[in-house]
């Protein structure tokens, strides 16, 4: 498995869990879609 891809997946997953955890406080859809836009850029 590509090391760079693995790091990106782990980072985006961490961001996704962090966003879901704080979704009650923030109602911003951009925060939820941020990991997916990050993956598309790479």
pLDDT for the residue numbered 36: 67
Mean pLDDT in residue range 5-9: 90
pLDDT for the residue numbered 18: 83
Query: What's this model's pTM, rounded to 2 decimal places?
Result: 0.43
Query: Counting Cβ atoms within 10 Å, is residue 12 exposed (0-12), middle (13-18) or buried (19+)?
Result: middle
User: Using one digit for the tens of pLDDT, what is the confidence trace for 9-41?
Assistant: 999 898 888 877 776 655 555 555 666 666 666
Interhelix angle 3-21/29-41, rounded to 10 degrees, is: 180
pLDDT for the residue numbered 17: 85
pLDDT tier at 2, thresholds 50, 70, 90: confident
């Amino acid at each position: 498995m590509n090391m760079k891809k693995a790091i990106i997946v782990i980072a985006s997953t961490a961001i996704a869990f962090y966003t879901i955890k704080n979704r009650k406080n923030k109602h911003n859809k951009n925060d939820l879609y941020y990991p997916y836009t990050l993956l598309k850029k790479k």
